[in-house]
A = this chain, B = another copy of it.
Amino acid sequence: MDRKELFEKKPKIKINNKISFCPTSAAMELIGGKWKSVILTHLIGDKKRYNELRKEIPGITERTLSLQLKQLEADGMVNRRVFTKKPPLKVEYTLTEFGQTLVPILNLIVDWGLQAAETKGEFLFEETK
C-alpha cells in the first residue's frame, strides 16, 4: 500500500502498545515531552555515561533523566550497556539503529530552535554563575 492510499484510509498506528490516530502523534509519543529529544540530541555521535548526560543537560534532575532514559530504552531508541558489576558502576548509553533514524529531525530541531531564538527570542549569557 502506498503513502497516498494510507493517508486516505487513516489507519490508527500502534507502536510499543501505544495507539495513535496519526503518524504525527505516534512520533510525538516517542520523542515528545520536555526532555526526550534533548537527551537524544546529546547522544548523537557519541556514547555517553549517565553522569556525562547529567552534566551536559542543565536543569534535568537525576530522577527525570533516569526515567526518560528508561522510556527511551523501552521504546527502542537507546541502548543501555553496563560495563562493571561492582560500584562504581560504568553504564553507557548509545542511540540504537532506530534512534539513529531520528538524527535528521533532531538536527533540524536544533537549528530551528537557534533560529527562533535569534528572531523571536534572546540569548542570556551569564558571566556570574
Contact = CB atoms under 8 A, between A and B. Distances in A.
A105 B105 contact: yes
Contacts of A22: 38, 41, 57-58, 113
Interface residues of A, number: 57
Nearest to A110: B23
A53 interface: no
A56 to B, nearest CB: 9
Nearest to A23: B113
A102 B109 CA distance: 9
Interface of A: 3, 6, 9-16, 19-30, 32-35, 37-38, 41, 57-59, 76, 98, 101-102, 104-106, 108-117, 119-126
